Every structure is written in C-alpha cells, then in structure tokens.
Amino acid sequence: MNKVLLIEDNKDFAESVKNILKKENIDIYHVENGNEAIKLLNSDASINVAIVDLKLPDYDGKKLVEEIKKTFSHVKVIILTGHHDLINVDEAVKLGIFNYLEKPVSSKNLKFTIKRALLKANLLTYEEKMLIIGNISTAIAHDIKNALRPVMTNAEFIKENIEIIDADTCDKLKAKSKQELDIIIKSVKHCMDIVNDLMDYAYAKELDKSNMDINDVLEESLKPFESGKNIKVKKDFARNLIYFANSDQLRRVFTNIINNSIDAMPNGGDIRVTSKLKNNHISIEISDTGIGISRDNLKKVFEPFFSLKKGKGMGLGLAIVKNIIESQYGGAVEIESERHKGTKVTINLSKD
C-alpha cells in the first residue's frame, strides 16, 4: 500500500502537495500537528512514509521525528521544511531520516523522493520474505491440522465399527455414526472457511451491489449474538442510512468485528453499536468492554495472520475487514483500544 502521512500546519502548502500527488496512486493523509500524527500512526500501521515539517504548533519537529523513528520503525521519514535553521544535515542523518528537503521544493523532486521512500519501505529482504512465508505456512498448517484431526478420528471409528455391525448393535451404531458424521461435516466446513478466508484476503471480489439500509445489515449481523450468555448489546442507529453496497460483504465485515468483541469478553460484557451520518460519511462504531489491546499489538491488528487468540483462528478477520472497506468501498477503518478498558472499531463510508 502507498500511504503517506503529511504533517504540516500550512493548509495551502498541504493542499499543493496533495495536488502534486493526485495522479500518483498514493493515498495521502494530512494532519496539522504532532499529536494528531501520533494518533493516526497508532491507528493505521499501513502508513509507511511520513513527511514532517519541523515547525509545528504543538511539537518540536526534531522530537517528533525521534518519536516516529523510535515507535514506528517501519516508517520512512522525510523532513520537508522552510526552517532550515532548526536542523542541519548532520543532525538529520543522525535521526535516521530517509531524506531532507527544503522549501520551496519542485514537484518533480518531491514526487521522486516520496516514490523512492515508498519503494524502500515496501522492499523486503530475503530473510523477511522467508519469515512471512514461514508464518503463513505455520498458521495455515496449524488450523487445517486441527480441523482435520476430528475428521480422521471419527472416520476411523465409522470404518472400524461398520465391519462388526449386526442386528443387536445396528441402531446404537447408527445413532453414534450419525454423531460422528456431523463432526466430520463440521470439520470439513471449517477447512472450507479457512480456504475462503485466504481467498477473500488474497483476491478482492467485485460483487453485485444495491442500495440498502446499513442498519438492516447491522441488525442481521448482531442477531446471532444478542442471546449470548452475559452479553448485552446496545444499539443507537440513525435513521435511513442508505448505502450502495453488497450486503453479504458488509455482514462479513460487521460479523468479524463483533466476533472479536465477543472473544475479548470471556466473562461477558457490553457491545455498543452506533451508526450516524457525519459530514456526508456514514460512520459505524462497534465498541466493547473487553480486555483491550496493548499499544504494541494495536499496530499489528490489521496485519494478515496476526492473532491475539491463541490457537483460535488464523488472524485474518481484521485484515479482511480492512481489505473490503478500503479496496471495495474506498472507506477507512480505525481502531482504538486500551488494556482492560475495551476496544472501539470505527468504519467510515463516504456517500459520494
């Protein structure tokens, strides 16, 4: 993904940078101060280049660069400033930045520098590639092996007993075999779900879309969970949130998020779901009172095959959510969380 964060308090200059990059297949996010920048980097681990002005209303530019390099080591930093007296080249190099540019900068030079930074950020070493392949293989093998184990066990039971069946044991073995076959069918379905998750993540499917009320899809997604033990569902829906989408896709998105909330509350808790129209955007918030996510893990939750559920699931749930919302609908997904205080996932969909 080509995501760039521009940290610049001059709105006119920021707008000119956006215009320069408009046709370059680069998603550029603009914030006007350091605190907003840190918040956005915490919520979106796929931002891999940050362009930093050294003179900001709330932050010393050098300290902000230091914090970004320390906390978000994958992010390539470009200093772009008109205040060259605030830092010299030697200091910039020691900070570990990717490049240092002074204003005014030509559009050609700016585009070239940003593209190089993105290329560098997206390059993987051979060792990194092998590690990713190993992690993927381990996750798939673990889940499929667990799903196939009851298939083997129950198939062996049926095979062994079918040879010794007689009139006296017929009814008893028939009932038992039916139970075993139900387990086999469930396990095979689990294997199919694993494959479908992989396919959904790897290949963005263009499905039929139509106008629908977002609230209807939310209601359908919540229905299986509303009777759950010790789980209270609270809803606050704005009226007539009509959106052009595929209902199955959105149901998958909402269900994945709700499932995570349920898993985060093993002893029960509250799930709150809100929908509203805000600045021509439909905003859906799903929050829980669960165990929360640590700051370090919060950066990784949208990464494929990253999971906090030990021995449960492949870690594709939120990766699929992000993939569908961003690639199919041009929307955005944000997550906020604090240990022992719960988690909130926000989905923003533009009505334009």
Task: Write the CB contacts of 318 (distance below 8 Å, at least 6 apart in sequence).
Answer: 256, 257, 260, 301, 302, 333, 335
Q: Distance between CA 330 and CA 335 in Å, rounded? A: 17
Task: Write the CB contacts of 84 (distance below 8 Å, at least 6 apart in sequence).
Answer: 102
Q: Where are the domains of the chain?
A: 3-122, 126-202, 210-350
Neighbours of 127 (CB within 10 A): 8
For the domain made up of 210-350, the CATH class stated in words is alpha beta
Q: Distance between CA 117 and CA 252 in Å, rounded? A: 35
User: Residue 201 pLDDT more than 70?
Assistant: no
3-class state of residue 51 by DSSP: strand
Residue pLDDT, tens place only, 88-132: 767 777 888 998 888 888 889 999 999 999 988 877 666 666 766
For the domain made up of 3-122, the CATH class stated in words is alpha beta
What rounded mean pLDDT belongs to the chain? 85
pLDDT value of residue 67 = 92
Indicate the Cα dihedral angle 90, 92, 96, 99, nearest 10°: -110
Q: Distance between CA 31 and CA 345 in Å, rounded? A: 21
Tell me whether domains 3-122 and 126-202 share a fold. no
DSSP 326: I
3-class state of residue 178 by DSSP: helix
Residue whose structure tokens are 């530019």: 61
Residues 218/254, Cβ–Cβ less than 8 Å = yes
Backbone angles phi, psi at 16, to 5 degrees: -65, -35
Fold of the CATH domain 126-202: Helix Hairpins (1.10.287)
Nearest alpha carbon to residue 48 among 78, 21, 22, 25? 78
**What is the band of 188 on the pLDDT scale with cuts at 50, 70, 90?**
confident
pLDDT value of residue 26 = 86
